[in-house]
Amino acid sequence: MNKKIINLLLIGFLVSLILSSGCKKDEEKSDPLTKGNTGVYTDSRDNKEYKWIEIGSQVWMSENLAYTGSDIIKVTDDNDWYEHAVAWCYYDNNESNKELYGVLYQWNAAEIACPDGWHLPSDTEWMELGNYLKEKGYSYDGIIGNDKIAKSMSLDSGWSSSSNLGAVGNSDFSEYRNISGFSASASGFRNPEGEFVNKSKECYWWSSTGISREVFGNYNLKFNSSKIYKNHNIQVCGYSVRCIKD
């Protein structure tokens, strides 16, 4: 076999290898993503309406809870915040923050705040949400199995800017912005000392799962990251609540 034929065969082999590699990469990407079924739920306790979204086999409220009934206690004073067990507040004690960010709850208040037919999600339910988004390719690059799903869970506005690749606060990969319909907003939190922290930079949601009588799970998105984080903190922190349907 002469040298010219060998070279042509080699070129053909390389082209075939490149094409097959490209096909393999495409197979690892998700099909075009769409949002699940949506609707509106009305809380009979105060007639507040909440949007909801179906994600996999789960149904989540697609906005933070804003219940402020008499079975939980409004606490505005920083010095009093730590002393209560079922307290709630608006961020900065400003009711204008309620519409976008909902209410911040201590864990004991969060546990009883969801309406009938809904409940505070457990670690297992939070992880089911995260695994579904990862396995279906909701990461910012569309690659199945990646855990960089924060952008697909987050609203487009209200987040501090970040230049980090695929971060919530970066305007890149706009086609994946909130494609899950979860609609996370940067609601910040209230720390145990009663200080309001990081609105526009972070959001935290309580889990019903605890590791002790005073320490419970929570899940967190950050403006400068592409991931969702699992944490544990004491029950007097003021975090947001996302209810999940029973």
17 pLDDT exceeds 50? Answer: no
Q: Is residue 15 part of a domain?
A: no
Mean pLDDT to the nearest integer, 143-168: 97
Q: What is the pLDDT of residue 139?
A: 97
Instruction: Kindly give, in sequence order, each residue whose CB lies less than 8 Å from that of residue 173, ignoring residues fewer than 6 positions away.
Output: 140, 141, 151, 166
Q: Is residue 4 part of a domain?
A: no
pTM: 0.87
Q: Is residue 11 part of a domain?
A: no
Q: Is residue 233 part of a domain?
A: yes
Residue with tokens 């105060």: 46
The token pair at 115 is 């309406």
Q: Is residue 110 part of a domain?
A: yes
The count of domains in the chain is 1
Q: Is residue 1 part of a domain?
A: no
Q: Is residue 9 part of a domain?
A: no
Q: Is residue 49 part of a domain?
A: yes
Query: What distance in Å separates the CA atoms of residue 220 and residue 149, rounded to the nearest whole number?
Result: 12
Structural domain that includes position 126? 38-245
Positive or negative: CA dihedral 73, 75, 80, 82? positive
Q: What is the pLDDT of residue 9?
A: 38
Q: What is the largest CA-CA distance in the chain?
A: 90
Q: How many CB atoms are located within 10 Å of the residue 232 CB?
A: 14
Q: How many CB atoms are located within 10 Å of the residue 244 CB?
A: 21
27 pLDDT exceeds 70? Answer: no
